[in-house]
């Protein structure tokens, strides 16, 4: 079966453990391979056509449910913890006071889709955040300028290629 870009698939050879979106089709001497982007996990993989199975909408919803539920649980737990700390006087509630607000976050990511998921999470817990998409291989050249521009309290860099050795 030929797959198209944006089809949702799983790899049989790995026990159909991860949902992937097809992001590229590579035809090498008549043998099709697919470049895959993880939906719930930060992973890029490739697989030959005969290793892939197409996933139904129902299966996607079923597979995605535990990830969504866990994320919602953790976000509620964070919000609840912040509320309890305020009630106990551990955190000043006023945004005017420097110790009463969470730090400003600069999140630099090479993957726009994952960055958007993270930005939603930051906003749900009331954090001030700036998100910037920068290809991983370009991050070492751009981080300093972005730090100067946004002056964050917290820097989040995602991508294993962000540092040169």
- What digits encode the pLDDT tens for the residues 11-35? 999 999 999 999 999 998 888 999 9
Distances (CA, A) of 37 to 34, 43, 56, 113, 157: 10, 6, 17, 10, 19
∠ CA 14-19-38 to the nearest 5 degrees?
100
Structure tokens at 12: 């049989």
Residue 162 has pLDDT above 60, yes or no: no
Half-sphere exposure of 43 (CA within 13 A, CB side): 14
Where are the domains positioned within the chain? 8-55, 59-158
Residues 10/53, Cβ–Cβ less than 8 Å: yes
Range 80-106 average pLDDT = 63
Structure tokens at 31: 């043998």
User: 59-158 has which CATH code?
Assistant: 3.40.50.2300
Residues 113/137, Cβ–Cβ less than 8 Å: no
| pLDDT value of position 149 | 97
C-alpha to C-alpha distance for 20 and 5, rounded to whole angstroms: 11
The whole-chain average pLDDT of the chain stands at: 85
C-alpha to C-alpha distance for 129 and 97, rounded to whole angstroms: 18
């Amino acid at each position: 079966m030929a797959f198209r870009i944006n089809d949702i698939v799983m790899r049989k050879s790995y026990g159909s453990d991860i949902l992937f979106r097809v992001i590229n089709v590579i035809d090498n001497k008549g043998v099709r391979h697919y470049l895959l982007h993880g939906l719930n996990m930060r992973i890029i993989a490739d697989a030959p056509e005969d290793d892939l199975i197409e996933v139904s909408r129902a299966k996607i919803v079923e597979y995605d449910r535990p990830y969504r539920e866990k994320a919602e649980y953790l976000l509620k737990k964070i919000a609840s913890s912040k509320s309890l700390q305020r009630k106990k006087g551990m955190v000043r509630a006023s945004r005017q006071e420097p110790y009463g607000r969470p730090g400003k976050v600069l999140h630099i990511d090479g993957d726009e889709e994952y960055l958007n998921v993270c930005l939603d999470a930051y906003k749900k817990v009331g954090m001030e955040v700036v998100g910037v998409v920068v290809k991983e291989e370009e991050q070492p050249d751009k981080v300093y300028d972005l730090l100067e521009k946004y002056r964050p309290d917290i820097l989040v860099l995602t991508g294993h290629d962000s540092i040169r050795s």
